[in-house]
Amino acid sequence: MTEEIQVFMDSSVIEGKVGAAVILTRWGKDHRSLHFHLRSVIDFNNFKAKLVGLLLGMQLIKTEKVARCRIALGTDNQAVISTIQKELQWAPKALQYLAVLDCL
């Protein structure tokens, strides 16, 4: 990838608990990461955890000190990509997702 900033995210369900993690890489800088432990698999599923991972990735991007640059987001879930593409067509709904960042 040639993007200056690369963000990779994943989620998992282990022993009945759900979580998400994200890492941001930038050439010449230390890697930065965030993770979030959701409750049990009874309350959350892996798809929701992947969406949380995406929000965490956006939070890391938001805190980067760059004017403008190309950013790559990497996820292994086509449903998450499809959801984001649909939501970004309607700015108010996309902003609802971003508002969740402040709650995490």
18-34 pLDDT, tens digit per residue, is 889 999 998 888 999 99
Residue 104 scores a pLDDT above 70: no
Instruction: Give the Cβ contact number of residue 45 at 10 Å.
Output: 13
For residue 94, what are the CA distances in angstroms to 55, 70, 86, 87? 11, 20, 9, 5
Query: Considering the domain 5-103 in this protein, what is its CATH number?
Result: 3.30.420.10
Q: Show the DSSP H helices in 3-101 as ranges.
A: 46-62, 78-88, 91-100
Copy the structure tokens of residue 35: 């993770």
Q: Tell me the domain boundaries of the chain.
A: 5-103
- Residue 31 and residue 24 in contact, taking contact as beta carbons nearer than 8 Å: yes
48-99 pLDDT, tens digit per residue, is 888 888 888 888 888 887 767 777 777 777 777 777 667 666 544 444 444 3
